[in-house]
Each structure stands twice: as C-alpha cells, then as structure tokens.
Amino acid sequence: MVRDYRTGDLSLQLSGIETAIKKLPGCSNVQLANLIFKEKFIEVMDDLAQQNDTSVVDENATAAEEETQTRQSKRKATLWEEEDTSFKTKLLNNCFDDIEKFVQRLQQIADAYKELEGRRLKRGGKGKQKSAEDEKLMMRARPPPADDFIDIFQKFKFAFNLLAHIHDPNAPELVHFLFSPLSLIYEASRDSIHGGRDLSSEAVAPLLLYDAKQLFLNCLTSNEFKLWQTLGRPWTLVKDEWSGNVPSYNPRFFNGWQPSPQLLDKVNKQDKIRDV
C-alpha cells in the first residue's frame, strides 16, 4: 500500500530532511520547498495512490469473478448430473414397465390357451365344430410375433446398461429381479410357431457395456449365469469383442415415448471405460 503522505508523520519526516540538508556545507539557506514542488508532488502521489487502489479493486473484482464462475460451473455440473441421472432413471423405469406389460401379455396368452384346452376337452376332443368363442380364444392364445420378442430382449439389455450407468448400490438386486422375467420370456420365445429361430440372439443392439458385463460377472447366480450364456453372443460380448456391425438402438416404449437419438447418444458415450 502507498504511504499516506498527507499525515503529520510525513510532514515531520520532510521537516527532518530539510534540517539534515541545511547541515550540509553550502546548504544552510536551502528550503525544502525549493527542492520539491509541493503541488506536483501531491498530484503525483494522488495518482499513485489512485492507481494502487484501482489495482487492489481490480484484483478483488477478478478474484470475485473467478469465484463466481467456479460456483456457476459447479452448479451447472451438479444440475447436469441430476438431469442426466433423472433421464437415465426415466429410461430404466420405462424398460421395467414394458417388461412387466410383456409378462402380463404372456400370462393372458397362457390363460386363454388353458381355457381353450378346457373347452376342447369338454367337447370330447376333435370332431365338434368350434364356436365363435373358441375362435376368439385361439386368437388370444396365439404367441407374440418374433419382432415383439426381439424388442423386449433389447429392452432387457438396455436396462442392464442403464443399471451400469447409474451405479445404483442396489444394482445387483435389480439384476436378479430382471432375470426372473427374462427366463420366462426366453422360454416363451422358443415356441415352435417361430420356426426354431433363436430370437434372443437376434437382439444384437444394444451390446452390453463393459461395466454391465462386469456387473454380471460379479453378481449372477449359477442359474442366471447359465441363462446369460444361453442367450447368445450378442449378450456376452462388448463392442471391442464384437466383430460385426452394431445397429443403432433407439427404443420406442409401449406408452408411445421414443427418446431423441441425440439424448440416447449422450447416454451411450458416458461409459468411462468403453463406448456402447
């Protein structure tokens, strides 16, 4: 900081300097006012003091601005993480909803088939004409088409990837929860009406994330592990291990919602180890 030159202390210092100069040989008549142009001195010192004060203000302003920017950056990062987690959670919940609806659909098909068989037995087997009610039951008992099975298998894989993204501490329990309907749907997909097609293996995209595969390796039971291996190579290989082309995946949920490809692309690129 610049010394306050207007104080009495500085006046005393100037007076002392004048006395010391007068003691020098040939300088007894020298007046300090003749050596220092007071007005100019004050002007220069005022400018210096102002510059120093301005510098301090600028430094403080810069520091405050940097601190504000840091807080804003942290807040934006926090908001983005919250929005990102919320979006992934919404995707995961929609996967759960569709899986639940598909299982209910299979249950309705099984109920219709059971009722149809009961009516057939009451008629004494073949030979009697089928009624309109029988025709309706036959339609209701028909298994879902292959594309519907492939779609739900893809949503299972997408849900596993989302669990790896979110890093929920309950992820292992949720994996076990999903493997129960996965086993049921896999068995239903093997119906002869599909001509022996391996529908689970046809669900190529999305490939499992590296973290999702690690989650499986760390938490699956022996029966779950066996089912996982049975589902086919598109379920056990990550992108770096896959030799063929991987089509893009953009799910459409049963409620009509289809996330934008741009948002899904951000989700797919957030795996810290490897991309989808």
pLDDT band at 104; cut points 50, 70, 90: very high
Query: For the chain, what is the largest distance between any 2 Cα atoms, rounded to a whole number of angstroms?
Result: 147
Per-residue model confidence (pLDDT) at position 189? 95
101 φ/ψ angles, rounded to the nearest 5 degrees: -65, -35
Domains of the chain, by residue range, sit at 58-268
Inter-residue long-range contacts of 268-271, CB under 8 Å, 24+ positions, other chains counted: 268/206, 270/84, 270/165, 271/164, 271/165, 271/209, 271/210, 271/211
Residue 47, pLDDT above cutoff 50: yes
Q: Kindly report the CA angle at 122 between 131 and 184, in degrees rounded to 5?
A: 85
Higher pLDDT, 225 or 138: 225
Percent of the chain with pLDDT over 90: 42
- Alpha-carbon distance 99 to 84, whole Å? 23
What is the mean predicted confidence (pLDDT) over 123-147? Answer: 77
8 Å CB contact between 253 and 151: no
Q: What is the pLDDT of residue 275?
A: 43
Cα(226)–Cα(203) distance, integer angstroms: 18
Average pLDDT for 21-39:
57
| Cα dist from 134 to 104, 129, 130, 154, whole Å | 21, 10, 6, 34
- Measured CA to CA, the distance from residue 82 to residue 261 in angstroms comes to 20
| Other C-beta atoms lying within 10 Å of the C-beta of residue 96 | 16
pTM for the full model?
A: 0.67
207, 238 Cβ separation under 8 angstroms: yes
Check pLDDT > 80 for residue 162.
Answer: yes
